């Protein structure tokens, strides 16, 4: 082989070796991906005597048996069928089970945008899943709106539907269109994806009693495969009808005393239980990268089927062994690593020994005993939701380092090979402390037709402790609570007060962080400023008692984002130490102040630096000198603005008062920060050089009175017009005093201002030429937001970009009152003063109607800086101003903690077959209205739905001319004709309200906001056609099938009907 060929061969071998190494690396990566642990980052449950995971742990750790007699009322359906003799045909011999406290008839339909009509047809299991899913996301700290459009998967186990047995007893005439979508299995998952706008895989899973754990297995598989990035998984079971009870009693599946005696010699059948559990899952790498609160890990899962056994419902021990071994292999661990098994263990004499002996064969090679237990001994067998209940028990046991007592185990089953391996049933509590060795547990679910599922869990990875040295600290914190309705908010306040009372050691900062960043923010709002859990609880109690509190705010979110004006304070508001607390606790504020100091130092015309002047001196002399006052105020106000803006609070319009206008110009983008500081520093220096022989006085007088008083002197000027009876004069000292004396003799009140010079007067003219030179050195830009100049008090986008404007600004009066009137005229409702003291707010309020606006000081000399900021922020929050809470809490190292979930406001929605009509009326009911006659029933037809899919113009002829027109249309049209023009809109709104209530099945005919969308109220494509039909029948005019898509609110619809439809087809006298 030639040397060249040999070198080429070596080179090719190197390339091939590298490719092989790369492929091996990729194979290993894919294998690791297939086995990546899945983090449980949130969970919720509704179980017997336990409405949430915390209550479930209380039940488990206290060894509570939650089995009870069927509650009267919603479980009275069993009473006619009860007979304790199991041999009596057509009867149930047991009425004991793990029943939920929550009635299956009740649901917070409006929260989920479901109409009363549709809610009545909805399987109670679907209802429960929606509530528990929301709670699970809240527990995970995920704001549902932020997940909209995400690749989130939904996997829900469901294996029966009792409600449909009720519905088939209805008269077929009463069957509503929603019964199908409300009672099929697939919508139990699909409705979640629809409501939350999830786009990942969506499956309803029926594998009998293994359904919920099979759903979790599928969720884990889909996450590892990359089909989704987040998953909700779990299961549900509710009982509302006797049919399945009759079947189970017929086959003697149920324990006569209603208890699961799992693995015990006395095992004689299972106890039924109802409930729901949902967990939130994420790949571990993603959860750690996102800083999620990891509760535990799913390390591996497996799923299989018995195949052919001696009978469809006879379990196979060998198949169970196979599934468990595959789950362990998937988890990458050995049998001896597992400490605890949460068994399927229903308490049957056949199933328990097969399951236990299968476990013995898999786990026999061990030294430490394998602990067995089953939550079914506490809460019964949840059938389709059994697996997730057992899994949640494991998570809680890992977190609390304790294996709860397994109940009703007096004597071990003689059919289990107890002596073949170290195995122990947890007949008493067993400590399970975290050590340097990872704790593992398994959970099994077995379906009655041979489906076997097993999952392996481990404790969550350790969390690094907070580094106190690395985080900023705040002395006070803001708690925000919100709900969709006022009653819900009041209940939420009660829940939080109770929670804080029972969890006094919670970190208050973490509680506030959780409510602010990890919760949805709804219409009705409350905010509390406090420094501790105990103080916050006091304020919540005071609110519940109806007491006023300066640090608690309540309000309703505006239907549109309100306009905010930032008002920047002028001279006279300064004091030593202004903003000190913010400088010490708020990184953005500190950063901007330090930036301003660097720029001022580079300008170099001040002997003392900004920060030493503000925070390292007790001498007020320098700060009172305008050369220092003006840059100091500018820096403080610009830092305040930067802090507010970093939290997402952007002003709609800015306006300054005198020197405050320079900050306003920077915020509006007219000046850069560097140019703004350059101008204000030069302005202050040049004014400082002028003689201090001037004086400024505030007068409670009109402009006309003041003008008359100074008309005979050129030495006094009007410096500011702050209100109709508030004017400031400025000028030569003696001349000002003479004018003041003259006005005081007329009974006008006066007040000398604490300033060094006579600003905004002719005494400033000597500095103008030099200042003009500085002004011409800077660059001006068109404003990026609305800016009101002092000199005119009106919006002037071009004026402030003219350098000469800033020269004139020195001597011309501040037309503050005109500026406030302009803000009012433009619809500004929120006025925030950005400055060391609230001077402008008082003046501005006097310019406007007494009850108008929200007035927010930022800093006040007599109170904590941070308290003032939080009070303003709380008031902004409760009226609906959007706040970037993530940015607000950045740099502080806070963590999510457990807080109460949403307080459901349930109402009864039920189709009672003993009634001649469903409790929530179907679409066949006629519309009744005080102004109208009785129309014939209006139902959507096949043609209507075809029109909706492929809308065509149906003609514009006036149906009033057609034969067979309804008396309804005549009544409404005639009523409109005799109604005053300004009242027609109210009449139509009232009528549409009535029609909508009938279509949606809302018997209470509750009023709704004119700007609230019809589809947000629960209307859908079917009911939109029905409402269209009713409406066009009412007015006698043909309407488009896409009417409510084009005009989705009552306000838009009524305007269209009046201006375009009725105006064309109906002749009004006016």
Q: What is the pLDDT of residues 605-617, one digit of tens each?
A: 788 899 999 999 8
d(CA 582, CA 590): 7
d(CA 787, CA 766): 28
Percent helix, strand, coil in the chain, to 5, is 45, 15, 40
User: What sign for the dihedral angle of Cα 300, 305, 309, 315?
Assistant: positive
Q: Which pLDDT score is estimated for 216?
A: 99
Q: Which pLDDT score is estimated for 415?
A: 93
Within its chain, how far is the Cα of 358 from the centroid? 46
Within its chain, how far is the Cα of 199 from the centroid? 20
Average pLDDT over residues 500-510: 97
pLDDT grade, residue 625 (50/70/90)?
very high
* pLDDT score of 957 more than 80: no
What does each C-alpha distance from 904 to 100, 135, 402, 715, 1018 come to in angstroms? 15, 10, 32, 70, 17
Beta 552-556 vs 524-530: how paired, if at all? antiparallel
d(CA 986, CA 680): 55
The catalytic site residues sit at 209, 344, 381
- Decide which of 203 and 936 is more confident: 203
Q: Where are the domains of the chain?
A: 1-32, 38-459, 473-557+870-891, 564-692+756-859, 942-1065
Q: Which pLDDT score is estimated for 952?
A: 37
Task: Report the chain's mean pLDDT, rounded to a whole number.
Answer: 89
* pLDDT score of 161 more than 90: yes
What does each C-alpha distance from 9 to 6, 14, 15, 16, 235 come to in angstroms? 5, 9, 10, 10, 61
Report the predicted TM-score, pTM, of the whole model to 2 decimal places: 0.87
What does residue 278 show for φ and ψ, rounded to 5 degrees?
-135, 135
Q: For the chain, state the CA radius of gyration.
A: 37
Domain 473-557+870-891: which topology?
Alpha-Beta Plaits (3.30.70)
* pLDDT score of 241 more than 80: yes
- Decide which of 617 and 945 is more confident: 617
- Decide which of 443 and 984 is more confident: 443
pLDDT grade, residue 470 (50/70/90)?
low
User: What sign for the dihedral angle of Cα 177, 183, 184, 185?
Assistant: positive
What is the tens place of the pLDDT at every residue in 742-752?
A: 999 999 999 99
Average pLDDT over residues 542-550: 90
Token digits of residue 557: 């979110």
Token digits of residue 769: 């030429």
pLDDT grade, residue 879 (50/70/90)?
very high
Q: Which pLDDT score is estimated for 4?
A: 76
Average pLDDT over residues 866-871: 97
Residue showing tokens 């419902």: 313
Q: What is the DSSP track for 897-928?
A: ----------EE----TTSSS-SS--TTSPP-
What is the tens place of the pLDDT at every residue in 24-66?
A: 776 666 666 678 999 999 999 999 999 999 999 999 999 999 9
Half-sphere CA count of 933, side-chain side, radius 13 A? 13
* pLDDT score of 927 more than 60: no
| Cβ neighbours of residue 663 closer than 8 Å, sequence gap 6 or more | 568, 633, 634, 637, 638, 641, 656, 676, 834
Residue showing tokens 């820096």: 635
What is the tens place of the pLDDT at every residue in 797-806?
A: 889 999 999 9
What is the tens place of the pLDDT at every residue in 180-195?
A: 899 999 999 999 999 9
**Residue 607 CB-density burial (10 A; 0-12 exposed, 13-18 middle, 19+ buried):** exposed
Equal CATH topology for 473-557+870-891 and 942-1065? no
d(CA 836, CA 573): 6
pLDDT grade, residue 709 (50/70/90)?
very high
DSSP bridge pairs for 458: 297, 440
Q: Which pLDDT score is estimated for 1068?
A: 67
Half-sphere CA count of 526, side-chain side, radius 13 A? 22
What is the tens place of the pLDDT at every residue in 110-123?
A: 999 999 999 999 99
Is the separation of the CB atoms in 305 and 451 below 8 Å?
A: yes
d(CA 79, CA 986): 51
What does residue 281 show for φ and ψ, rounded to 5 degrees?
-120, 150
Q: Which pLDDT score is estimated for 254?
A: 96
Token digits of residue 134: 């929301």
Q: Which pLDDT score is estimated for 928?
A: 35
**Could you give the percent of the chain with pLDDT greater than 90?**
73
d(CA 495, CA 486): 14
CATH architecture of 564-692+756-859: 3-Layer(aba) Sandwich (3.40)
Domain 942-1065: which topology?
1.10.1200
- Decide which of 999 and 107 is more confident: 107
Q: Please name which of 240, 203, 241, 198 lies closest in space to residue 107, comparing C-alpha atoms.
A: 240
Residue 850: count of CB within 10 angstroms of its CB: 7
Q: Is 499 helix (H, G, I), strand (E, B) or coil?
A: helix
Q: Which pLDDT score is estimated for 922?
A: 37
Q: Is 616 helix (H, G, I), strand (E, B) or coil?
A: coil
d(CA 542, CA 544): 5
d(CA 648, CA 644): 7
* pLDDT score of 965 more than 60: no
What is the tens place of the pLDDT at every residue in 205-231?
A: 999 999 999 999 999 999 999 999 999
Average pLDDT over residues 987-1015: 77
Q: Which pLDDT score is estimated for 1020?
A: 80
pLDDT grade, residue 619 (50/70/90)?
confident
What is the tens place of the pLDDT at every residue in 97-109?
A: 999 999 999 999 9
What is the tens place of the pLDDT at every residue in 904-920?
A: 999 999 998 753 333 33
In CATH, what number does 38-459 get? 3.40.47.10
pLDDT grade, residue 636 (50/70/90)?
very high
Average pLDDT over residues 805-809: 97
What is the tens place of the pLDDT at every residue in 287-332?
A: 999 999 999 999 999 999 988 877 787 788 889 999 999 999 999 9
Secondary structure letter of residue 978 according to DSSP: T
* pLDDT score of 967 more than 50: no
pLDDT grade, residue 1038 (50/70/90)?
confident
pLDDT grade, residue 143 (50/70/90)?
very high
Q: Which pLDDT score is estimated for 1065?
A: 67
Q: Which pLDDT score is estimated for 844?
A: 95
What is the tens place of the pLDDT at every residue in 526-543?
A: 999 999 999 999 999 999
d(CA 150, CA 156): 18
Is the separation of the CB atoms in 1063 and 1035 below 8 Å?
A: no
d(CA 414, CA 263): 9
């Amino acid at each position: 082989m030639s040397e060249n060929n040999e070198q080429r061969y070596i080179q090719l071998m190197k390339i091939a070796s590298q490719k092989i190494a790369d492929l091996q690396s990729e194979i290993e990566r894919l294998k690791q991906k297939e086995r990546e642990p899945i983090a449980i980052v949130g969970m919720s449950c509704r179980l017997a005597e336990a409405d949430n995971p915390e209550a479930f742990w209380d039940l488990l750790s206290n060894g509570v048996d939650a089995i009870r007699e069927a509650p009267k009322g919603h479980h009275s359906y069993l009473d006619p069928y009860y007979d304790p003799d199991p041999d009596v045909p057509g009867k149930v011999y047991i009425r004991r089970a793990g029943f939920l406290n929550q009635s299956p008839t009740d649901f917070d339909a409006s929260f989920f945008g479901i109409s009363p009509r549709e809610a009545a047809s909805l399987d109670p299991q679907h209802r429960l899943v929606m509530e528990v899913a929301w709670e699970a996301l809240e527990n995970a700290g995920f704001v549902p709106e932020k997940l909209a459009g995400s690749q989130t998967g939904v996997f829900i186990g469901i294996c029966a539907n009792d409600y449909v047995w009720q519905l088939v007893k209805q008269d077929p005439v009463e069957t509503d269109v929603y019964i199908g979508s409300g009672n099929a299995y697939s919508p139990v998952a699909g409705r979640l994806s629809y409501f939350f706008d999830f786009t990942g895989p969506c499956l309803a899973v029926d594998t009998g009693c293994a359904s919920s754990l099979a759903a979790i297995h599928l969720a884990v598989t889909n996450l590892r495969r990359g089909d989704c990035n987040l998953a909700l998984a779990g299961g549900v079971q509710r009982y509302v009808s006797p049919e399945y009870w009759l079947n189970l009693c017929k086959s003697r599946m149920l324990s006569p005393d209603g208890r699961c005696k799992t693995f015990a010699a006395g095992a004689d059948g299972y106890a039924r239980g109802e409930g729901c559990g949902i967990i939130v899952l994420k790949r571990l790498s993603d959860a750690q990268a996102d800083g999620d609160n990891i509760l535990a890990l799913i390390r591996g899962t497996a799923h299989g089927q018995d195949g052919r056994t001696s009978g469809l419902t006879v379990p196979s021990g060998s198949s169970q062994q196979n599934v468990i071994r595959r789950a362990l292999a998937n988890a990458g661990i050995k049998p001896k690593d597992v400490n605890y098994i949460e068994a399927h263990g229903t308490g049957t004499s056949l199933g328990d020994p097969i399951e236990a002996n299968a476990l013995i064969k898999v786990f026999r090679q061990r030294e430490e005993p394998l602990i067995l237990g089953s939550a079914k001994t506490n809460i019964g067998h949840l059938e389709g939701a059994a697996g997730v209940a057992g899994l949640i028990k494991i998570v809680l046991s890992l977190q609390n380092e304790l294996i709860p007592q397994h109940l009703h185990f007096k004597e071990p089953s003689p059919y289990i090979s107890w002596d073949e391996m170290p195995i122990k049933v947890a007949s008493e509590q067993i400590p399970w402390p975290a050590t340097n060795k990872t704790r593992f547990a398994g959970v099994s679910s077995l379906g009655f037709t041979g489906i076997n599922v097993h999952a392996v869990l481990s404790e969550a990875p350790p969390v690094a402790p907070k580094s106190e040295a690395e985080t900023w600290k705040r002395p006070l914190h803001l708690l925000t609570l919100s709900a969709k309705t006022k009653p819900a908010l009041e209940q939420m306040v009660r829940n939080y007060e109770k929670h804080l009372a029972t969890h006094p050691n919670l970190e208050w900062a973490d509680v506030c962080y959780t409510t602010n960043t990890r919760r949805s923010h709804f219409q009705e709002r409350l905010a509390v400023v406090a420094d501790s859990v105990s103080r916050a609880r006091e304020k919540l109690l005071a609110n519940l008692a109806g007491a006023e509190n300066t640090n608690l705010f309540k309000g309703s979110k505006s239907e549109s984002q309100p306009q905010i004006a930032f008002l920047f304070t002028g001279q006279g508001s300064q004091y030593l130490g202004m903003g000190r607390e913010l400088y010490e606790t708020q990184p953005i504020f500190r950063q901007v102040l330090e930036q301003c100091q660097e720029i001022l130092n580079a300008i170099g015309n001040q002997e003392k630096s900004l920060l030493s002047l503000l925070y390292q001196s007790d001498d007020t002399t320098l700060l009172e000198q305008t050369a220092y006052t003006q840059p100091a105020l500018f820096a403080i106000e610009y830092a305040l603005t930067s802090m507010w803006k970093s939290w997402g609070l952007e002003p709609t319009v800015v306006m300054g008062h005198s020197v405050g206008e320079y900050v306003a110009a920077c915020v509006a983008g007219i000046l850069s920060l560097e140019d703004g500081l350059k101008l204000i520093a030069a302005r202050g220096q040049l004014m400082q050089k002028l003689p201090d022989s001037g004086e400024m006085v505030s007068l409670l007088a009109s402009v006309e009175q003041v003008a008359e008083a100074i008309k005979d002197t050129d030495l006094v000027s009007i410096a500011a017009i702050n209100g109709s009876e508030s004017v400031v004069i400025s000028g030569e000292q003696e001349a000002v005093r003479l004018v003041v004396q003259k006005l005081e003799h007329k009974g006008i009140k006066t007040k000398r201002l604490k300033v060094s010079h006579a600003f905004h007067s002719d005494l400033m003219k000597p500095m103008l030429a030099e200042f003009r030179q500085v002004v011409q050195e800077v660059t001006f830009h068109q404003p990026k937001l609305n800016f009101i100049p002092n000199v005119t008090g009106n919006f002037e986008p071009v004026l402030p970009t003219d350098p000469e404007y800033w020269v004139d600004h020195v001597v011309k009066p501040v037309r503050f009152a005109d500026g406030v009137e302009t803000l009012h005229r433009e619809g500004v409702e929120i006025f925030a003063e950005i400055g060391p003291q609230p001077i402008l707010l008082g003046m501005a309020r006097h310019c406007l109607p007494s009850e108008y606006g929200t007035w927010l000081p930022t800093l006040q000399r007599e109170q904590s800086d941070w308290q003032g900021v939080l009070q303003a922020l709380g008031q902004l929050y409760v009226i609906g101003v959007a706040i970037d809470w993530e940015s607000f809490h950045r740099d502080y190292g806070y963590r999510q903690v457990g807080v109460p979930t949403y307080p459901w406001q349930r109402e009864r929605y039920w189709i009672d077959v003993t009634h001649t009509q469903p409790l929530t009326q179907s679409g066949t009911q006629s519309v009744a209205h005080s102004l109208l006659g009785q129309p014939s029933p209006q139902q959507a037809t096949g043609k209507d739905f075809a029109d909706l899919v492929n809308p065509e113009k149906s003609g514009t002829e006036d149906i009033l001319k057609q034969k067979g027109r309804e008396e309804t249309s005549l009544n409404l049209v005639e009523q409109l004709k005799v109604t005053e023009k300004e009242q027609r809109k109210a009449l139509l709104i009232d009528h549409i309200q009535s029609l909508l209530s009938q279509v949606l099945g809302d018997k209470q005919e509750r009023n709704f906001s004119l700007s609230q969308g019809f589809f947000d109220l629960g209307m859908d494509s079917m009911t939109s056609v029905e409402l269209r039909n009713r409406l066009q029948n009412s007015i006698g005019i043909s309407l488009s099938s896409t009417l409510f898509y084009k005009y989705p609110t009552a306000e838009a619809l009524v305007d269209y009907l009046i201006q375009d439809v009725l105006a064309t087809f109906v002749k009004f006298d006016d």
